[in-house]
Structure 1
Amino acid sequence: MVQEKIFCIGLPRTGTTSLCKFLNMIGLATKHFPFEIFQNTNYTLLVLNMIGLKTKDLPFQLDLNLNNLFLNKYVGFGDSPIPLIYKDLDRNFPNSKFILTTRSLDSWLDSMQWLFEHGKVKWNWSIKVHIYHHIFLGTKTFRKRILEHKFADFHTDVLRYFESRPKDLLILDMEKGFGTKEICDFLQVPATQLEYPHSNKRTTTTFDERVSYEFRQRKILLNSLVKKLGKDLK
C-alpha cells in the first residue's frame, strides 16, 4: 500500500520552512528542500541550457524519480521543488494531504527580492536551485513582472486543481494568521501545546559575501562547460 504523505506546496518565502519545522515538532518526519527527488538529473546539461548553450542530449527539465528510497524516509515534504511537481506527487501518492502557505503579493515580492539578493548567499544555493527557479518561476533573478504572473497563475492553478477536493487542501495565510489546531485537525493528529515556530528571518549579507558567491557560481558554470566540451571531444 502506498504511504499517504503531506506535501507543503507554498511558494518560496511563504513560511514553508516554519511549517516543515512544525511538522517535525509534532512527530511527522518532514524533509525541507527535498531536491533528492531529482537524484538522476544531469545538471551539467541543464546548466548549459540555462546559460543559452542548448544541447540535444536532454530536454530542459528536471529528471523526477518518484521510486527512489528517499521518499520512504519521510511523511512530509516542503518548499522547493514541491510546488513544481505537486500534481505528479498527488497521482503517485493518493489520499495525501496538501498545505498551501501564502501571503499578499506585495509582501511576497518584497521577500523574494531579498531572497534573490541576500538569501541565495546566506544559504549558499547550489546551481540546482538556480536551475529550479529558472524552470519553475521563469527567472533566476528578481524580475517583478515575471514573478507577479507566476504568483497569480500558481495560486489559480492550485485552487482549480483542488476545487472538487477541498478536504485535501489546507490554505494557511501568513498575514491573516492561523493556529496549530487548524493544522492538526486537517492532518487528523492530536492537538499540541507547542508554539508554532518562525524561521528564516531576513539578514543582510555584505558586499564581499555577495561577490564571493557570484564568483563561485561562475566557476561552477565554467567547469560545467569544460566538462561538457571534454565529453564532446572524445
Structure 2
Amino acid sequence: MPDNANNSTASAHAQCSANAQHIGNADYAANTQHTGHSQIATPAEMNPANSNTLSSEQASVEKQKVFIIGLPRTGTTSVSVALLEQGLKVAHMAFTKQAFMLADAISDVPCFSDYRQLDGLFPQAKFVYLERDMVKWVPSMQMLLGKMLPHLEAKSGRFHPIMKRSFRHTFAIDKVAAPADEAHLIDCYQRHQNEVLAYFQGREDFISLDISHAGSLSRLLQFLGLTTDCPTLGQVTDRALSASQVKSAPNQLLQEGISQAKGNIQPQSVNTSEHGLDFPKLNAGTHVAAWHEYKHPNKVNSNSAGPQSRKFFDYTL
C-alpha cells in the first residue's frame, strides 16, 4: 500500500478524487491500449497543427493540463506536491510524450523553457508562473547550478538531453564563462519573466504566483477550479521527510530510533489561516531532492514509456 493510504477519510478521498476528475484522469494501461474512456487522445489520434514547427504533434485534448513554468528554485516542488495532494497526477520534469500524456500537471524542465510550444500542443492547458524575491532566488540558483553544472555539459554531462537543452536555452550555460554569476542570473530571470508576462498578457488561462505570499495555494486552487477540502495538505512535509533529514537530527534522537527522530523533527504544515491555504515549504535551503524522497501514488515518472517508447515531442525552440 502507498505510505499515505490511510491519511484521510473516505469522504476526503472522494473529494480529492473529484478534484482530479475536474482536471481529468486519463489512466493508460501498461500496454498503452486506448480504451475509449480517456478524455485525452493517444499519439495516433493527435490532430495536425497549423504550425510547421509543431507538425503533427498537437494533442487533441479536452482534459485540462496544468503547466508550472516558473524557473528552478521558485517553488516548483512545493506546487507539485500540493497538486498531488489534490488528487492530480503530477510529473516534476517530463522527458517523454507519455509523461505528458499521463500527467495532469507538469512542472520544471522543460515547461519553463518550452511554454510556447506546449501552449500550441495543449490548447486547453493552464499555465502557472512562479515568482520569487530576487535576493532569495539568486543564491538558491547559484547553489543549484554549483551541483548541476558538471552534469549539464553537452557531451560528458549525465543529465537528460531535454534538461540540458532547457538550461542552455534559459540560462545560456554554454555561452557564458560563469553561468552562476549573479548579474548573469538576474538577467536570465528578468528576461524569462518579461517574455512570459508578455506572451500571456491578457489571458485568463495564466496566473502568476509567489508561493511565499499568504493564501497563495488558495489562489492557485481557485484558478484551477479545485476545492480546498483535502486534509492531507497539512501533512505533505511529514511524508517528504528523508533519511538525510533524519540523520541531521541530534545524535540522541538517532540513538532512540528513526521513528522517534521523525517525531521530534516538526514538519512545516500548510497554513490554513484566515488568509487561506499556503504552500508546503519543500526543498528549502540547500535541499534539492525532496521530490524524489516524497512518496505518493500519483507521481508520474519523468521517463514514462508509451506507444512511441520514450520519444519526445518533435518541435524545436
TM-score, normalising length: structure 2: 0.49
The aligned counterpart of 1:174 is 211
Unaligned runs of 5+ in 1: 37-67, 206-234
The aligned counterpart of 2:133 is 104
* Aligned positions of 1:114-153 closer than 5 A: 114-118=143-147, 126=159, 128=161, 129-139=163-173, 141-153=179-191
Cα deviation, residue 133, structure 1:
1.5
Alpha-carbon distance in structure 2 between the residues aligned to 1:180 and 1:204: 22
TM-score, normalising length: structure 1: 0.65
Cα deviation, residue 160, structure 1:
1.1
* Aligned positions of 1:19-34 closer than 5 A: 19-34=79-94
Partner-residue secondary structure (3-state), 2:67? strand
Structural RMSD (CA): 2.6
From the two aligned structures, give the one with the greater helix fraction: 1
The aligned counterpart of 2:283 is 200
User: CA deviation digits over 1:167-188, x for unaligned, max 9?
Assistant: 2112111343434321111001
Q: Does 1:7 align with 2:67?
A: yes
1:73–1:147 Cα change, 3 Å: same
Are the counterparts in 2 of residues 6 and 98 from structure 1 also a CA contact under 8 Å? yes
1:146–1:7 Cα change, 3 Å: same
The aligned counterpart of 2:224 is 187
Cα deviation, residue 190, structure 1:
1.6
Q: Does 1:94 align with 2:105?
A: no
Are the counterparts in 2 of residues 138 and 146 from structure 1 also a CA contact under 8 Å? no
Are the counterparts in 2 of residues 180 and 191 from structure 1 also a CA contact under 8 Å? no
Alpha-carbon distance in structure 1 between the residues aligned to 2:196 and 2:71: 11
Q: Does 1:81 align with 2:110?
A: yes
Partner-residue secondary structure (3-state), 1:111? helix
Partner-residue secondary structure (3-state), 1:197? coil
Aligned-partner residue type, residue 99 of structure 1: V
Aligned-partner residue type, residue 163 of structure 1: Q
Aligned-partner residue type, residue 21 of structure 1: V
Partner-residue secondary structure (3-state), 2:173? coil
The aligned counterpart of 1:70 is 99
Partner-residue secondary structure (3-state), 1:77? strand
User: CA deviation digits over 1:18-65, x for unaligned, max 9?
Assistant: 1011111101111002123xxxxxxxxxxxxxxxxxxxxxxxxxxxxx
Q: How many residues of Structure 1 are paired with residues of Structure 2 in the alignment?
A: 172
Aligned-partner residue type, residue 182 of structure 2: K
Cα deviation, residue 79, structure 1:
0.8
1:204–1:125 Cα change, 3 Å: farther
Partner-residue secondary structure (3-state), 2:283? coil
Are the counterparts in 2 of residues 172 and 178 from structure 1 also a CA contact under 8 Å? no
The aligned counterpart of 1:228 is none
Aligned-partner residue type, residue 140 of structure 2: S
Cα deviation, residue 118, structure 1:
4.0
1:177–1:154 Cα change, 3 Å: farther
Are the counterparts in 2 of residues 10 and 99 from structure 1 also a CA contact under 8 Å? yes
- Bigger Cα Rg: 2
Alpha-carbon distance in structure 2 between the residues aligned to 1:177 and 1:87: 30
Cα deviation, residue 119, structure 1:
6.3
Aligned-partner residue type, residue 4 of structure 1: Q
